[in-house]
Structure 1
Amino acid sequence: MRKDQITAAYGKVFDAPGVINGSGKVRFVGVWPTGNVAVKRSSDPDSFGPLTVSPEKARPLTQAIERLYPAK
C-alpha cells in the first residue's frame, strides 16, 4: 500500500473477515515499519492498543483498502 492509501484508511472500519479471529469488521490503525499491520476490532474502545497481524493475515483488509482507495 502507498502512503496516501494508508493515510486515507487510518481509523476507518472495514469488512475484513479472518483478519482478527471472531471479528468480521476491523479498524485499520496503520502499518508498522516491519510491514506488519496494526488493527483493532471495530468495537474496541480507543484506549485499547492495536493488535499486530502479518501482511498475509491482513490481506482481506489491505485488499478492501486498495479497492476503496485505489493507487493514484
Structure 2
Amino acid sequence: MQQAQLAKAYGKVFDAPGVVNGSARVRFVGVWPTGNVGVKRETDPDSFGPLTVSPEKAQSLMQAIERRYPAK
C-alpha cells in the first residue's frame, strides 16, 4: 500500500469486521514502524488511545482502504 493511500485514510472510519472485537466499524490511525496497525472503534472518544492490531488481523481494514483509495 502506498503512503498517499494511508495518508488519505488517516482518521477515516471503515467497515472492517474482525479487526476489533465487538465493533465492525473502525477508525484508521496509522501503521506503526513495526508493521502493526493502529485503530480506534468508531465510538471511542478522541481522548482514548489507539489499539494496536497485527497486520494479519487488520487485513479487512487494509482491503477497505484499498477499495476506497485505489493506488494510482
TM interval, short-chain normalised: over 0.9
Rounded to whole Å, the distance in 1 between the matches of 2:56 and 2:30 is: 15
In structure 2, what is the equivalent of residue 37 of structure 1?
37
Matched, 1:60 2:36: no
In structure 2, what is the equivalent of residue 27 of structure 1?
27
Aligned residues: 72
CA shift digits 1:2-45 (9 cap, x unpaired)? 10011000000000010000000000000000110000000000
In structure 1, what is the equivalent of residue 70 of structure 2?
70
TM-score under structure 2 normalisation?
Answer: 0.98
In structure 2, what is the equivalent of residue 46 of structure 1?
46
CA shift digits 1:40-59 (9 cap, x unpaired)? 00000001000000000000
Unaligned 5+ residue runs, structure 2? none
In structure 1, what is the equivalent of residue 8 of structure 2?
8
| Segments ≥4 residues shifted beyond 4 Å | none
Rounded to whole Å, the distance in 1 between the matches of 2:2 and 2:31 is: 11
TM-score under structure 1 normalisation?
Answer: 0.98
